Structure 1
């Protein structure tokens, strides 16, 4: 019996050490060496203090800031520990009601804006944590933000253009604007 049990235990301890200790340490070390910012969570720093991550959306509700995509995470919006969408399909009455409420909130804060509301401003992403909005979503909010901050509209439009990221390698994805980066640039512009 020991001739069978001993090799099995040795193999178990060896594989546990290899896959549970050595491999994670090697991967973490390689990530820290090759991609230090990403390995630390892609943190965005202001005055040496972390103010967010470039990979996780934040809840902006002040009219002086651009608003990101709605979050469907629970129990609070933009909860990185509970990433996930609402799982509501396009025919779900709850989704239709949520979208209607979001449109009303956007219209209430900017009643003179008669443009069609871009879909990314009223629907949550699959993760519920998307830090980006479309350039159209940013432009939709530009006049409100400029008015609330007392900035020229063309200055705000230029900030949007400066913070619009191109598709990956020019092929993958759509142009997008990181809401946190744009709002931080606005805060510096004052």
Structure 2
């Protein structure tokens, strides 16, 4: 049977993302991706220069989406407790709604070469700094009471991984309900004081 060459860049992205998540970047060849798409391996190079570029594209899309969602969630929100709740909710929701991309981002950063690797690390760090900034401002205002704001922000950032480890979309809770629960948990982590405003 002849293989079709009609494949979109998005289809290549999705196939690679799923394979990298399930069997790892190093365990996936361009031939594997081509087989999923029922095309010849050489035809993939019409859409992407290399497997390394493909890995970077997957991570870049994921990070840009996460940063954009975080900015949208915080836009116009002035109360620091609401900021932390919303930031946590959007973080957890991203993990639950995009598990394959998150898996690739979490496990394959070591497989990226510079300058790709540093670019993704910079975006990841920018995301983390936004969470830390909220926690530090809350502590400075007396709204939060936590001895180690940096460690608290790390714990909050890990909530997405925690939820992703057990969440089942067919289970008792929806992704939105889980995200809302984790948003309230984050306020407990930072020792939120009810009724105290910045």
What's the TM-score once normalised by structure 1's chain length?
Answer: 0.31
Answer 1 or 2: higher relative contact order, Cα 8 Å, separation at least 6: 2
Q: Which of the pair is proportionally richer in strand?
A: 1
Give the number of the structure whose alpha-carbon radius of gyration is greater: 1
What's the TM-score once normalised by structure 2's chain length?
Answer: 0.30
